[in-house]
Structures are given as structure tokens and as C-alpha cells.
Amino acid sequence: MSIAIERWLRDCGSTEEWAAAEARAAAEAGAAVEAGAAVEARASADIEARASAAIDARASADLEARASVAIEARRSVRLEAIGTRPDAAVAEIGGLYAGKHWAASVTDQPFTYRYTAVGDDALTLRRSRITGRIRGAVPRTDDYIVQWITEGSGVPDVQVDRVPLTLGVPMLLPTDREFVFDFQDHDQRLVHLSRALVHDVAAERLATGRVTNLALDHLRPLDRVAVARWRAQMTLLSRELHNGVASLLWQTLTRDAAAAFLDLYPPEVPGLPDVVLLPRMGRLRAAVEFVHTHVDRPLTVAEIADAAGLSVRSIQESFQRNLGQTPMGYVQRLRLDRVRIDLTQADPASTSVRAVARRWGFSHLGRFSGAYVQAFGEYPRQTLHH
């Protein structure tokens, strides 16, 4: 086992210490989280058994060959930053996130910081412990980041969401945009998952297609069973770190972790219609996936047909016969879905229906509102102010 991984494991503690930290956080979070602990225990045993069975079942030569290629393509990640000066914490930790306008200061204790990370470029387990206050802006990143604190206090987004963290309760950071955080005297666990990994698992398990935005709601209320499954998966990952990250088991567990993440934060982006998932619908599926992937840019029927390797007439007939609408009708409905997602997640004080509609290609507000009401049974302004 490498020195870097030994350091990370020593810093994060043993599996038993990890579990103990979670238990303490659960106790402080209240009775609701305590009730989830029992579910977590059952989910941990269930996931461990299924993970072990999955490894045995996936031992075929074909899977191992494909997994070996994927593992070789990944780069290991091992980081450690430690010190006692606020300016050094800003430079070292802020540098890892391309941070802007970061500042750190002393509280009523001597300032210290320690930041560790280990994993690969698909998933890393991290821990940030700072005795002191730290604040700054984090620009949009290519990772989804789930984090929770076991000590101290923090507000992940002080300018837009303004929702303080609860000890032991996970929260997804709004990494699809810039946000400004403020933490004090905290012990924080973070899990970075690459968008490529999460989107690949979403396409495989949820039939989302190859989309660039899963439309996750980072403030959605979390399902207790999903939280338990997530924590159990983190325990399995931390145990596997003893064997390094260049193993088939690590790759399997990272994909399982992405699936657990999608249980925590289910995509709100519409999935592919069931009919296109049938084996004989390969060309129609290619066309529909093309639309889902490029719905945020101008599209023509000719482009959609070309993506499927069909003529314009053939793709029009296929859409009408199997989906009950024209290709451009499907594009419009998908864009209406995206408008609804944006309006649901937007701040009414700083967002207008017109701006969101124009973003998705609707220039005539009256016709757009009529189509929206027909699709969802309410006016877009009602969705925005709900």
C-alpha cells in the first residue's frame, strides 16, 4: 500500500472510526437521523453482500478485459495539504478548486488546516479539517461534490441558497454554477464524482441518454434509505483503499457509488421513451439520444435524420409511428421540460419567465405560454412562484 494512501487512511481513521464519526453526527442530527442509522446498518450488509456477489458474477474474461482498459485510462489522485497559516490554507486549498476571493481567519483557537484526498480522476474521497474560518468563491467544476460536516458549521452557498449544513447530513454542492461558501471550525467529508462517470451510469441504469445536464436538484429532501445506501457505499470504498485504486473491485465500487449518488439526487431530466429501448429501435434511439444531447442548440430534422442514418422522410415516419409526434414536436416538448426544470429550481426574485423561455428557444411568449399550459396544466409563472 502506498504511503499516500496510508496517510489518507490514518488521517480519515479506520473503518470503525469512520463509522463512529457518522454515528456521532447522527446523534447530533436528531431522532430522524438516528432512525436512519438502523436502515444504514441493514443497507450496509445488503450492499456488501451484493458487491461481493457482483464481483464473483463479473469475473468473466470479457468484463475483465473491458475493465482493465478503463482502469488503465484512469489517473490516481493523492493530495495532502497541512499547515497553520491562514494565507497558506487559501493558497493550497483554494488552488485545488481554482478559488476566487478566498479568505481565512483565526477564530478563538489557533489556526490549523489539513486537507487530504485519495482515489482516481473518476472518484475521490476527501476530508477537510480547519480550525478557523474560511470563505470564498468556487467556480463551476466538472465534478459532482457531495459533502457533509461532522463538526463545526458551514453554509455552502451564502449568496443564493443560504441553507446551513446539518451535522451528518449530506448536501450536494451547486457545482453547475459559481457559489460562495462560508465554514468555521469544521471537519468536512467530501466525495468528488466526475460528471463523465455519473452520466455514464445514468445512461446505463436510467436511460437518460448521453446528456450534458442531468438537472439535479441539489436541495431536494433526501430519502432516508438512499442516505443509508450512500453511507454504506462510502464505507465499502474506504475499505477498498487499503488495496489501492488500480483494481477491478475499486472500479466496480465507484460505479456502484455513482448509482447510490443518483438515488440521492435522481435526475429530473426526462429519460428516453421506453419504446426506443427495444432492440429493433436502434436507429430511432440514436435519433432520440442525439436530440437529448443537443437540445440546447438549434436542431433541424435533417440533422436528426443524419444522426440515425436515415432519410428525412424515414425519420419523420419513425417518430410519428412510434412516438406519436414529429421530430421537431419532440424537440419542442423536450425543451418545454427543460424550461419547467429551470423554473422549478429558479429564484423568482432574480428570474423571469421570458428569460428562461428565450434560453430554450421560445421567442413568442404568448405561444410559449399556451404550449406550456397544454403540457403541464399550469402557467409558467405559476411554476416559477410555486
Q: Which amino acid is at 161?
A: D
Grid cell of 103 as nine digits: 479568505
Question: What are 329-341's pLDDT values in tens digits?
Answer: 999 999 999 999 8
Residues 255 and 344 in one domain: no
Give the model's confidence band at 20: pLDDT under 50 very low, under 70 low, under 90 confident, else very high. Answer: low
Evaluate the CA torsion angle 301, 303, 308, 314 in order and state its sign.
Answer: positive
Output the average pLDDT for the chain. 85
pLDDT above 50 (res 3)? no
45 pLDDT exceeds 50? no
**Total residues belonging to the chain:** 386
Residues 192 and 53 placed together within one structural domain of the fold: yes
65 and 207, same domain (yes or no):
yes
Confidence of residue 11 (pLDDT cuts 50, 70, 90): low
pLDDT band at 85; cut points 50, 70, 90? very high
CATH of the domain at 295: 1.10.10.60
Q: At what angle do helices 327-345 and 301-308 cross, to 10 degrees?
A: 100
Report the pLDDT value the prediction gives residue 259, as an integer from 0 to 100.
97
The pLDDT > 70 percentage for the chain reads 81
Q: Are residues 99 and 191 in the same domain?
A: yes
Show the 3-state SS of 157-175: CCCCCCCCCCCCCCEECCC
Regarding whether 288 and 250 lie in a shared domain, the answer is: no
- For residue 26, the model assigns a pLDDT of 45
pLDDT at residue 93 above 80? yes
Burial of 266 (0-12, 13-18, 19+ CB in 10 A): middle
CATH number at residue 106: 2.60.120.10
pLDDT of residue 10: 52
Which helix (H) or strand (E) element contains residue 11?
Answer: helix 3-12
CA distances 379 to 289, 342, 353, 356, 357, Å, are 29, 14, 10, 14, 12
Quick: pLDDT tens for 135-159.
999 999 999 999 999 999 999 999 9
Summarize pLDDT for 246-301 with one digit per residue, the tens: 999 999 999 999 999 999 999 988 888 999 999 999 999 999 999 998 998 999 99
Q: What is the pLDDT of residue 210?
A: 76
Amino acid at position 62, single letter:
D
Domain co-membership, 254 together with 278 = no
Rounded to two decimals, what is the model's pTM?
0.72
Same domain? For 31 and 175 the reply is yes
CA neighbor of 142 nearest in space, from 199, 220, 222? 199
Look up residue 267 and give its amino acid.
P
Structural domain ending residue among the three candidates 269, 299, 317: 269
Q: Which neighbouring-strand residues pair with 308?
A: none
Angle at which helices 327-345 and 365-376 cross, to 10°? 90
Which whole number is the average pLDDT over 41-62?
A: 40
pLDDT of res. 24 = 52
Residue 25 and residue 349: Cα distance in Å, rounded? 35
Per the structure, the count of domains in the chain is 2
Residues 298 and 265 occupy one common structural domain:
no
Strand, coil or helix: 126: strand
- What residue numbers bound the domain in which 147 lies? 1-269
* pLDDT reported for residue 269: 82
Q: Mind giving me the DSSP string for 32-84?
A: HHHHHHHHHHHHHHHHHHHHHHHHHHT-SHHHHHHHHHHHHH--EEEEEEEES
Same domain for 255 and 163, yes or no, is: yes
- pLDDT confidence band for 362 (50 / 70 / 90): very high
Final residue belonging to a domain, choices 269, 299, 330: 269
CA distance 264 to 220: 9
Has residue 2 got a pLDDT over 50? no
Q: Is 285 found in the same domain as 259?
A: no
Q: Is 222 exposed, middle or buried (0-12, 13-18, 19+ CB in 10 A)?
A: middle
Query: 289 with 170, same domain?
Result: no
Cα 322 from Cα 280, distance rounded (Å): 12
User: Do 145 and 54 have their domain in common?
Assistant: yes
Summarised one tens digit per residue, pLDDT across range 185-244 is 999 999 999 999 999 999 888 888 777 788 899 999 999 999 999 999 999 999 999 898
Where among 232, 252, 269 does a domain terminate? 269
The model's confidence at residue 14, banded by pLDDT at 50, 70 and 90, is very low
The CA distance from 125 to 271, in Å, is 29
Distance CA 261, CA 279 (A): 28
List all residues 6 or more positions away from 37 whose beta carbon is below 8 Å from its beta carbon: 23, 26, 228
pLDDT score at 346: 81
